[in-house]
Amino acid sequence: MKFSTKAIHAGQPADPATGATIVPIYQTSTYTQDGIGQHKGYEYSRTGNPTRQALETCLASLENADYGLCFASGTAAADAVMKLLNPGDHVVCADDVYGGTYRLFELVLKRYGIEYSWIDMTDAASVKSAMKPNTKMVWIETPTNPLLNLVDISAVAALAKASGAITVVDNTFASPYLQQPLALGADIVLHSTTKYIGGHSDVVGGFIGTSNSGYLETIKYHQNAVGGVPGAFDCWLTMRGAKTLAVRMKQHCENAQRVADFLVDHEDVEKVVYPGLASHPQHDLAKRQMSGFGGMVSFVIKGGEQAARAIANKTKLFSLAESLGGVESLIGHPATMTHASIPVDEREARGITWGLLRLSVGIEDADDLVADLEQAFAAARQEAVPA
């Protein structure tokens, strides 16, 4: 089956008990057994739930993974993946990642003896230079959050494999529709399903996919032992969202390109970052590695933080909010929102400046989105003029 068909049908046969076309919400914590040790495959919903299993099967299919596991959030999924490591292990990580990933690694897991090297992964050679004898994992995020840098998954995965390290790719920004990390050599793919997969800003969740049974066994053990699992209704909402992922991503990409083109020519904009622009440093890689350029656009506004705050406060269709990937458009200020947990000097060194704004371009009419940004620019300019 092709992508759009799998999104609607994989793991989702008609309910055998009733014939219901849509997978039911199995809103139960426990399951009645026919006798001691005699059950129908489910004992307790932390360990397994039919609605969650349907979602795991569907998302694994979309990533062409043999196995899939769902979690209560993307960070819960990331934490479970890190349970593959032991104290003293070293991780090579892209230096431009989601602020929550940085917080988990540096402020939580580092206390338990995991070492990290934060590097610019746009140059695969830097990954090779950062590898140590105790390097056990290479963590890739591509496109990165919020600077939309791209990492050559095939090249970095080959380097990791040669050193015996696990390659993990956070595929949240691209979605499985635009990018297939496992096919490019990665060992594990991860998503915050809160974003494009769910797609409607109404549910939080996470997912990991892999075709390595050993990694699956360890992560699944911790999924159950730690218990960071999604509820049945959350799984059902995410599965409903995934059904329309293909058609939504096409519109996200089309709208984001239109918005990026508008921003490039705007007098108040200092810099625009979007993989679909020929000016993007990894534009050619984006064309090779992805089937579309995504729905995220970042730009630096002239006038620094004051101008950025003014514009973020003046949009009407672009809601000022954290998160991304929903049908509605969002605008955010990474330095004070999604990446506030990163120390200021590190943020600025990575390019997350006070004048940087991040757009999650939704699937509204592109003309309306451009008009909204234009009126926000105009309102911000008017506000900056002394009375």
Q: Which residues contact 38 (CB under 8 A, 6 or more apart)?
A: none
Q: Which helix (H) or strand (E) holds 206?
A: strand 206-210
Of the residues 98, 177, 196, 274, only one is catalytic, namely: 98
Read off φ and ψ for residue 71, nearest 5 degrees.
-135, 170
97 DSSP 8-state letter: -
Is 170 assigned a catalytic role? yes
Which residues face 29 on adjacent strands?
none
Helix, strand, coil percent content, the chain, rounded in steps of 5: 40, 15, 45
15 carries an active-site annotation: no
206, with CB counted inside 10 A (0-12, 13-18, 19+), is: buried
> CA angle 109-172-313, nearest 5°?
95
How does 257-285 read in b/e, with b if 16+ C-beta sit within 10 Å? bbbbbbbeeeeebebbbbbbbeebebeeb
Contact 333/357 with Cβ under 8 angstroms? Answer: yes
Q: Considering the candidates 152, 170, 187, 372, report the single residue annotated as catalytic.
A: 170
3-state SS, residue 98: coil
288 CB-near residues (< 8 Å, 6+ apart): none
**First vs last C-alpha separation in the chain:** 63
Which one from 15, 31, 46, 220 is the annotated catalytic residue?
A: 46
Degrees (nearest 5) of the Cα angle 109, 94, 248? 105
**How many C-alpha atoms does 71 have within 13 Å on its Cβ side?**
26
- As a whole number of angstroms, the distance between CA 104 and CA 110 comes to 8
Does the active-site annotation cover 98?
Answer: yes
Please classify residue 116 by burial: count the beta carbons closer than 10 Å to its beta carbon, then call 0-12 exposed, 13-18 middle and 19+ buried.
middle
The three-state secondary structure class of 331 is strand
Q: Which of 195, 314, 347, 350 is catalytic?
A: 195
177 catalytic? Reply is: no
Query: Active-site positions?
Result: 46, 98, 170, 195
